[in-house]
Homo-oligomer: A and B are copies of this chain.
C-alpha cells in the first residue's frame, strides 16, 4: 500500500503540473501575468496558491521519506512564479519516482512516525498515511485546483484525476 500511495502522489502531482501549465496558457491568452495566480486566495485569510502547492509537495515528500527511508530534498519555499512552482512540483515527482516497492518493505502498521505538529507526537504508519498525509495532500492539491478554476482557468475534474489504467469490463 505504501508504495502505491506514493506512486499516486506522483501521478496527482503530475496532474497538478499540467493544471499549472494550463493556468499559464490561460493567462497568456488573456494577456495577464500568470504569476498573479501565485498570490491568489479563495478567501482573505486562506493561504495563497503558492502555499497550497508547497504544502501539497511537502506532504508527499515527507510521506515518501518517512515511509520509504530516504532523506527528502529541502525546498526553500521561495517560489514567486508559476514556473518556479512547477519546478518544485517536478522536483518532488522526481524524488517520489526514485522509490520502488522494495523501499517500503521495512514499514508496517506498528512503525511509529514522528510528526512536526503537535510537537512531541507521532503516529503509527497507517494512521500517518491514511489519516494525515493523504487527506492533507489532496486537500491542498484540490484547493490549488479550486483557486485556478475560480480564477478562470479552463480545467475540469478529469485534469485533476488524470488518466487511469482502464481495462475492458
Using a CB–CB cutoff of 8 Å, the interface residues on chain A facing chain B are 1, 4-5, 7-8, 11-12, 42-43, 46, 112, 114-115, 118, 120-124, 126-127, 130-132, 134-136, 138-139, 142-143, 145-146, 149-150, 157, 160-162, 164-169
Contacts and interface: CB of A to CB of B under 8 A. Distances in A.
A123 B168 CA distance: 8
A8 B135 CA distance: 9
A8 B169 contact: no
A142 B132 contact: no
Contacts of A145: 139
A67 to B, nearest CB: 13
A4 B168 CA distance: 28
Contacts of A127: 164-165
A78 B150 CA distance: 26
Given A149-B43, A169-B114, A169-B121, A132 B164 contact: yes
Contacts of A115: 169
Given A114-B169, A118-B166, 14 more contacts: A8-B134, A42-B149, A42-B150, A43-B150, A121-B167, A121-B169, A123-B164, A124-B165, A132-B164, A138-B139, A139-B157, A139-B160, A142-B146, A143-B146
A45 to B, nearest CB: 9
